Amino acid sequence: MSNAIGMVEFTSIARGYYAADQMVKISDVEIVTAGSSCPGKFIAIVHGDVAAVQDSVKIGERMAEEYFVDSIIIPNVSPEVFPAITGSTTPDSIQALGILESFSMATMILAADAILKTANVQALELRLGNGIGGKAYFTFTGDVAAVQTSIEAGKAIAEEKGLYVNAEIIPSPSDKLIPCLF
């Protein structure tokens, strides 16, 4: 069962590709995404069973050498994280809108997982680095109380790591804004 997710972040694109190749050759994991991100970084995100993801991330960290930035492993990740990373979520409706922003891609995945596990909210998108200077943000929807509770959980993770940028809650987003979210 593929219920774990792992990520390794690199400062070298070339080394990132090399390490990602080793990560999937040596461990029984699948790539969620692997590629360059702003500003000239590379991220490799894998999923699989917990032991395989742990091995894969360890290999990625070792292969990174001096190009290592950060890594994470979430053993029992919310299943909504995967489609949010690939931008393939289709919400039932947009109620209140929550937006959490971080300086770190790895931290944002941790925060998104916490947000999704805290209250009854639905993921929209988990944007990791591209076109936003290496920052990351997570958008999600639910009723106002659920979005508020979830924002606090995600914000606590980003603040604890010193990587929090901002969070906003839009109680009733305009129909003119909704198409900009996808």
pLDDT digits (tens, 9 = 90+) for 51-84: 999 999 999 999 999 999 889 999 999 988 988 8
Selection from 64, 70, 79 nearest residue 102 by Cα: 70
Question: Which residue ranges in the chain fall short of pLDDT 70?
Answer: 1-2
CATH code of the region 4-74? 3.30.70.1710
Q: Whole-angstrom Cα distance, residue 52 to residue 15? A: 21
Q: Return d(Cα 65, Cα 67) in angstroms, integer.
A: 5
The full set of domain ranges for the chain reads 4-74, 81-181
Res 113: pLDDT: 96
Instruction: Check if the beta carbon of residue 86 is closer than 8 Å to that of residue 47.
Output: no
d(CA 164, CA 78): 21
CATH class belonging to 81-181: alpha beta
User: What is the reported pTM?
Assistant: 0.87
Same CATH fold, 81-181 and 4-74? yes
